[in-house]
Amino acid sequence: MRGPELERLYDEHAQPLYAFLLNLTRDEADTRDLLQEIFIKLARDEQLLAAVRDERAFLIRLAHNAAIDLVRRRGTRERTRENFAAESASPFAPASDLDENTFRNELATALAELPAEQRAVVHLKLWEGLTFEEIAAVLEIPPNTAASRYRYGLDKLRGRLRPLYEEIK
Amino acid sequence: MKPEDFEQRLQRQPRRQIPAGWRAEILAAANPAPRSASRAPFLSTINSQLSTLLWPHPKAWAGLAAVWVFIFVLNFSMRDKAPALVEKVSPPSPEVVAELKQQQRILAELMGARDALDADRSRPMAPRPRSERPFEVLTV
């Protein structure tokens, strides 16, 4: 793939891919490695996007697969990291307001405590605005599974954040 | 708390921005210079394969490597010191040389005397068959 085309892809898709990967890995260095891996793949294979209708969905699928591979490759280390998720990189921007900042930190921690498959669905639904059908296509799961994972994930977030939410509402 | 409110509240949370410096770095890595194009994949392949191989116990492998390095260093240091030890031995003094020569001369004399004695001695009897021994006794 030529340089300008690669730059266009970066400018259009790198930010959402970064947010998705950071939410899955909770590590800036891993996120950077995976993002670079995706763009190297795109640069090497000119036909990779040739028959793709939805670039964003395709790239998110690449990112998801790369993140899953990373988790498998680093098995023990990753599980250890999950245990210390509260100390990991937050996918949200810091806020100037103290209450808002507290809420974002709690949300980041609660998200990190979700299983990776629920976290991926919640992220794609809430922050990418994908439908369950689109999520199902991206993650290669049935739409009902995507919907149930979202419901379970959101219930856990609500249960975890309810006291804080009520307090600062 | 209404479910819709909660979802909307979550959706409104601004996500962290991708570091600006990454763009140049990632695009440069994805589009390497032509000269290094053939070499970079080879090195990265070796790197990734080694990482996969060594990953389960990196500290153990590092420890093993450190032990080998220590052994090599020890080995080379000992090899370097061996000639130095030989060089450090001082040459024997003239008195010692004279004493050694005298001992050699005495030994040679003794050996010469021993040879003379041996020549005077009769040769030991060759072993004979048992059947001849009684006859020998009788003849004596």
Cβ–Cβ < 8 Å for A114, A157: yes
Query: What ipTM, to 2 d.p.?
Result: 0.78
Q: Which pTM was predicted?
A: 0.60
The shares of helix, strand and coil residues in chain A, as percent rounded to the nearest 5, are 80, 0, 20
Q: What is the pLDDT of residues A117-168, one digit of tens each?
A: 999 999 999 999 999 999 999 999 999 999 999 999 999 999 888 877 676 6
CA A36 to chain B, closest CA, distance in angstroms equals: 5
Which residues from A are below 8 Å from B29, CB to CB? 36, 39-40
CATH 1.10.10.10 segments of chain A: 94-169
Q: What is the pLDDT of residues B77-133, one digit of tens each?
A: 887 665 555 555 667 788 888 999 999 999 888 887 666 656 555 555 656 566 655
| Cβ within 8 Å, pair B16-A93 | yes
Greater confidence (B52 vs A97) lies with A97
Check if CATH label 3.40.50.10470 holds for domain A94-169. no
Picking from A90, A165, A166, the nearest residue to B16 by CB comes out as A90
pLDDT band at B5 (very low <50, low <70, confident <90, very high): confident
Tally of CB atoms within 10 A around A56: 16
Picking from A73, A90, A166, the nearest residue to B52 by CB comes out as A73
* pLDDT value, residue A84: 47
**Maximum mean pLDDT: which of A63-72, A94-103, A125-134, B46-55:** A125-134
CATH 1.10.1740.10 segments of chain A: 1-89
Interface test with A, best of B2, B12, B13, B23 (most A CBs within 10 A): B13
Q: Report whether pLDDT(A106) > 50.
A: yes
Structure token pair of residue A17: 């891919």
Q: Class for domain A1-89, per CATH? A: mainly alpha
Burial class (CB in 10 A: 0-12, 13-18, 19+), A53: exposed
Structure token pair of residue A164: 């804080």
